[in-house]
Chains A and B, each alone.
Chain A
């Protein structure tokens, strides 16, 4: 790489690949104390579950509490999946809402948005970088839950072969892989919400507003999904497949729901990504 000549000519400047901004975005995101606080809080969910079950004198009766909870005492590997199930409706959307809602509006609120744009970062490039950053956080968040769950489960409970929903039994090692598959499914589930958050974030200079709106939408979607009267709407809700990862816990693995979910999330990404693009490209940056 050579220095760009500054000779007053209007010659074309050679553009570098631009990965530096992506690296910088990830580094800023994961250097923030807020990000670590959220990841730690998520990691605490399985710990809380495992400790509570361990300390409780009575067995957990089957069918009570979150799914898979009754299996935890027999096999610690279930802690991870249980914790994921518990985190999906609120904790994960909450943290994603914070990160996604902060993407553009956070920069606008700080005033750094104008400096990024006059650098010039490029508006499209900035949107992409911000979305990838949010997706990376989705991955970190689900990994945080599942890893912490596997560790604490193995520490507090016996570990052994796991009986799947289909009745088949798989080895402990294989079940760890399945746990990460579930985490991957949930990470994909959150991509639609991330796109919505990104769009909302382009609408305002107040990050808290964008965060709250994103989180509220995730709750609204889940409430609508629970109303049988709106059944026609359910397949279109971004939260519709959030808990549909049971197929990954069968032998052989059925990828149908994974595919449906990925398609739905891609649709949300396309729609809200376009909206964010349309809004952000024409917007006057006055913050």
Chain B
């Protein structure tokens, strides 16, 4: 709190943030650091503690231990001065079904003491327009579709200019068109200087818009950083398709690599460029060629240039039918970090 930590550099900062429900730790000692101006993707499988973390950040629930700073001020101590500067969509939109979309925004805006009444009507109309709901402003929310409610929820977060937006699964229930609109809205808000903290279990979404990301798994923060950093920290691998598995493993081991699995090369035909030469079905009757996979680069293994591997393999008489350097997609990174149960595809 005291001291002159450059508090403006981080919009959200947590230290050892923990929330227990009985014995179960829903959020377990996480240290978030969301730089100001970033579009920060908060990723994790369902039930990994994302929404609980957001509730803690917004002062809806109290932390069991640990500290939170939002916009440079301690939460929930300074809740009254922090929250008016934060727009939020928490665990899906929620509205009064018997009121119209505009009346709902009007109602929620009155709860904010810092939101001026004189401009309320204009601000409501403007934020409805921003999310493409101007035509449905007078319609009862009861008659809204899920996607429309989601848009209205985002409109609520935009009622006044915010320094920080916390959006929990903002594209949930939106059609592809709506998803694109939300993405471009988030980008344009970020371009104006708003820090956006967006939770999602959709990787593609995060990969497309975020500058930074953090990954939650079972209540813990397992990775955090810029998107580039996250991709790089995953290891690249080489995949060698060859009938001479044992010899290939020897060569790789001699190069200091650790051949980890020996699976079967997929009969993918011509689709994979690097693997194209290794089309496993050969007329010589060799059938499907086994594959040897070894990580290169990264932290664990010594870095070996791929061309050296190939030349060594060939000079050792290994019949190389396919060779590929496989980069790590964010998706693989997530699966590696959070386990296979992750619902990456939707």
A16 to B86, CA, bound (A): 18
Interface range for B: 35 or more
Q: Is B297 an interface residue (CB 8 A)?
A: no
Known: A16-B116, A118-B86, A120-B79; 5 extra A-B contacts, CB below 8 A, are A15-B114, A111-B92, A111-B94, A117-B58, A120-B59
Give the residue name and chain of the A residue nearest to B61 (CB): A284
A-B contact count (CB 8 A): 123
Q: A6-B163, A110-B94 are in contact. Are A119 and B60 (CB under 8 A)?
A: no
In the bound complex, do residue A20 and residue B114 qualify as a contact, i.e. CB atoms below 8 Å apart?
Answer: no
Among B59, B93, B112, the one with the most A-chain Cβ atoms within 10 Å of its Cβ is: B112
- Nearest-neighbour CB distance to chain B for A262, whole angstroms, equals 31
State how many residues of chain A have any CB contact under 8 Å with chain B: 39
Mark B53-87 against chain A: 1 for CB-CB distance below 8 A, else 0: 00100111110000000011100000111011110
Q: A118-B83, A120-B79 are in contact. Are A16 and B73 (CB under 8 A)?
A: no
15 A–B pairs (Cβ distance < 8 Å), ordered by A = A1-B117, A4-B114, A4-B116, A10-B72, A13-B85, A13-B114, A15-B114, A16-B116, A20-B120, A21-B111, A112-B108, A114-B55, A115-B94, A120-B111, A284-B60
Contact of A117 among B60, B106, B161 (CB under 8 A): B60
In the bound complex, do residue A110 and residue B80 qualify as a contact, i.e. CB atoms below 8 Å apart?
Answer: no
Q: A114-B91, A122-B80 are in contact. Are A286 and B55 (CB under 8 A)?
A: yes
Contact of B99 among A31, A282, A285 (CB under 8 A): A31
A168 to B110, CA, bound (A): 52
In the bound complex, do residue B84 and residue A13 qualify as a contact, i.e. CB atoms below 8 Å apart?
Answer: yes
- Nearest-neighbour CB distance to chain A for B17, whole angstroms, equals 14
Q: Is A230 an interface residue (CB 8 A)?
A: no
Give the residue name and chain of the B residue nearest to A110 (CB): B94
Residues of B within 8 A of A (CB): 7-8, 36, 55, 58-62, 71-73, 79-81, 83-86, 88, 90-99, 106-120, 156, 160-163
A2 to B97, CA, bound (A): 32
Contact of B60 among A2, A18, A118 (CB under 8 A): A118
Q: A16-B117, A114-B91, A120-B80 are in contact. Are A282 and B62 (CB under 8 A)?
A: yes
Q: Is A8 an interface residue (CB 8 A)?
A: yes
Q: A2-B116, A10-B81 are in contact. Are A20 and B110 (CB under 8 A)?
A: yes
A14 to B92, CA, bound (A): 30
- Nearest-neighbour CB distance to chain B for A279, whole angstroms, equals 14
Neighbouring A residues of B95 by C-beta, 8 Å: 110-112
In the bound complex, do residue B55 and residue A120 qualify as a contact, i.e. CB atoms below 8 Å apart?
Answer: no
In the bound complex, do residue A115 and residue B72 qualify as a contact, i.e. CB atoms below 8 Å apart?
Answer: no
Neighbouring B residues of A263 by C-beta, 8 Å: none
Give the residue name and chain of the A residue nearest to B86 (CB): A118
Neighbouring A residues of B80 by C-beta, 8 Å: 15, 120, 122
Q: Name A3-32 residues within 8 Å CB distance of B.
A: 3-4, 6, 8, 10, 12-18, 20-21, 23-24, 28, 31-32
Neighbouring B residues of A2 by C-beta, 8 Å: 116
In the bound complex, do residue A16 and residue B113 qualify as a contact, i.e. CB atoms below 8 Å apart?
Answer: yes
